[in-house]
Structure 1
């Protein structure tokens, strides 16, 4: 009976971990979603058809043409699905770390990477349809601005290369219904391979890097790192992993964008997308939106560590006191 106690302890803490991950996701998305919208629009721009010059230029033009809430186009689907997505990612990592550890000893870097890899593979069940729907809504403003901009594309030439999305598909629910009606469940999972190619390496980099950075701030092996150190470690590890996998994120964004402007090429798969981007736009195209992505991911994962440190989930589940300061 005693041999099962570690597993029981993990299982009993799982709901609290899910709550922590979910709350962190909601808070993070609310704070940084406008920058995520900018990232998607910058990544979808082609040479000679630029509507936005930079992140700041994109934010200003978005507010001017679409209003303040235009920066939150697609946020509803993210807020709805980010809770299970972040909860699965963080809880899965803890689950695999628990089973890869022996006698409570720390994990090797290789095992930390394996746990992160498994967590990344688990989360794409939610991430892929969430990103698929979000990107259509985020990029709609870019296509409209491209149509209005003189000298880029005449209004009558703005084309849609995929007829799945009609003009009336203006919400995530409508887009999802049309995709399910015309393509089935696989329509929502377009770009699954590219999502795996992004999220698995991200988790492989993030979780070991965070664990080792956080370990540097611990007064001793038995003590927890201070609150501020965990926050900084989450930000550094998150931004580093985000920039490292940005080329895969560019490919994923292009593959999942169903609506295209005139003269914007389509792609038959990951290799075709990589090849066309490299040949037509050069290596620098794979860094589009990297700064925005780092600015999105850094606070998001820093907030995650805040939630874990404070113990909001544990408080809700067991009414244990919130840990507001370091021990």
Structure 2
């Protein structure tokens, strides 16, 4: 019997292995995710930040506010809801630069720590996540310091006006503030308080971002899923916890930073020119308790604001990585 020859079936085309994203693409994705998260945290957390800065910088003698609730009430009474968002244009306008630096530096730090000398990759250890956070905090300080400086200068104007009836605000907007400070100090003007920002940011972000990543890793093992598949409540809980740990670790340094940033823009009139002199002056004003002024609104803000921001960044990053 004659054998029937079946036509050959062509082999399916071989699909090229997906190529890793270029450095620029990774930077762009990290930056976009960070910017979206930064806008979210600013809108949620700025009123708490305004209360924190005003409590931190009000005079020790005849204080304007009796506490966080009193500060909120008086702010609404004197300035309405916009008063809680004083200086918000600075952090909003700066989110692209600050969050781009923060999350692109964090992504790059994790990739660098996860690459061996021969170019092969390895899984990050718990210590690696905290190291990446430390590197990230130091790098991001140079973009965060100017944003915080201009924001703080605008936020404290009401405090000064109530403490001194003769006080007249030298500027009423961030734009005017930039012009005034540059006249005094030139290109160095936005970095008033940079040293305290560095002292705060590096260890704080090591704890903040490191804890967030470690908590996600532990949760993914517990639930038996990849970190990107964790539920929203779990990711937000990790972000909120990281935010609380951030402020518990370094709040006194933040008080020093606020004092330096809200000091006179004229170098000749500054009360707080350096970290040691600022710490000494604040201790003289009220001892240890002086370094925890504004702590309650800060902690109240920490969980919801950071839960929203880190969840947003996490989800946007995973969404972009799938495309």
Mapped pair 1:137 → 2:139: no
Q: Is contact 1:20-1:304 (8 Å) kept?
A: no
SS of the aligned residue for 1:51 comes to coil
Aligned partner of 2:199 in structure 1 is: 197
Task: Report the Cα offset of residue 289 of structure 1.
Answer: 1.6
Please, what is the CA RMSD of the aligned residues?
Answer: 2.6
Specify whether residues 227 and 68 from structure 1 end up closer, same or farther in structure 2 by C-alpha distance, changes over 3 A only: closer
Q: Is contact 2:217-2:227 (8 Å) kept?
A: no
Aligned partner of 2:83 in structure 1 is: 70
How many Å separate the matches in 2 of 1:174 and 1:265?
20
Task: Report the Cα offset of residue 118 of structure 1.
Answer: 1.4
Aligned partner of 1:121 in structure 2 is: 138
- Per-residue deviation, residues 182-236 of structure 1 (Å, max 9, x unmatched): 2111111111100101111111111221122112211237454322111110011
SS of the aligned residue for 1:184 comes to helix
Q: Is contact 1:240-1:294 (8 Å) kept?
A: no
Aligned partner of 1:151 in structure 2 is: none
Structure 1 stretches of 5 or more lacking a match?
Answer: 148-154, 159-165, 321-327
Structure 2 stretches of 5 or more lacking a match?
Answer: 1-18
Specify whether residues 212 and 12 from structure 1 end up closer, same or farther in structure 2 by C-alpha distance, changes over 3 A only: same
Moved over 6 A (4+): none
Specify whether residues 265 and 186 from structure 1 end up closer, same or farther in structure 2 by C-alpha distance, changes over 3 A only: closer
Q: How does 1:163-242 map to 2 (within 5 A)?
A: 167-218=169-220, 219-220=223-224, 222=226, 224=228, 225-242=230-247
Task: Report the Cα offset of residue 9 of structure 1.
Answer: 5.7
Match for residue 99 of structure 1 among 88, 102, 112: 112
Q: Is contact 2:235-2:307 (8 Å) kept?
A: yes
- Per-residue deviation, residues 105-126 of structure 1 (Å, max 9, x unmatched): 3323332222112111111221
Match for residue 292 of structure 2 among 280, 287, 290: 287
Q: Is contact 1:246-1:286 (8 Å) kept?
A: yes
Q: Is contact 2:53-2:156 (8 Å) kept?
A: yes
Q: How does 1:30-109 map to 2 (within 5 A)?
A: 30-102=43-115, 103-109=120-126
Aligned partner of 2:6 in structure 1 is: none
Scaled by the length of structure 1, the TM-score of the pair is: 0.83
Aligned partner of 1:13 in structure 2 is: 26
Point out the more displaced range, 291-300 or 204-213.
291-300
